[in-house]
Amino acid sequence: MRPSIFPIAGPWAGQLAIVLRPRGGDWLDAETRAWRAAGIDLVVSLLEPSEETEFALDNEGASASANELEFRSFSIPDRGVPKSREAVSELATQLVTALRAGKYVALHCRQSVGRSALIAAAVSFQPVRTSKPL
């Protein structure tokens, strides 16, 4: 199985991408294994807990870990906005740190078009630090 991966260009050593939400249940381990085989190091799920249950993704973190992927859950309401601007800024900073370290970071939500794009934009607009003052 080959995962659908949509890369986003950036100034980092690593790679940022949006991926399709994994199929849950019996397909979950195959999906996370395919992500790892594609080189992904870190997956961020933006699903709400009720969506995780609906799509049989309650064990996504465990499946990711079993397949040597780092996993983070950052719940954002579907068709909504994050509850905290500060929390989004902190997540974006953490993801930029991973990207600068050469990590391959993938984001997903329910349809991989709304919340994923929001967080990708937050990451993309983090200030680029240089060693020289501007």
Cα 8 to Cα 117: distance, rounded to the nearest angstrom: 10
List the domain boundaries for the chain. 5-124
Classify domain 5-124 at the CATH class level. alpha beta
Whether the pLDDT of residue 75 is over 90: the answer is yes
pLDDT for 27-57, tens place per residue? Answer: 999 999 999 999 999 999 999 999 999 999 9
**Over 90: is that where the pLDDT of 98 sits?**
yes
Which of 32-41, 51-60, 100-109, 121-130 has the lowest average pLDDT?
Answer: 121-130
Q: Is 124 exposed, middle or buried (0-12, 13-18, 19+ CB in 10 A)?
A: middle
In terms of Cβ atoms closer than 10 Å to its own Cβ (0-12, 13-18, 19+), residue 36 is middle
Please state the pTM of the whole predicted model: 0.90
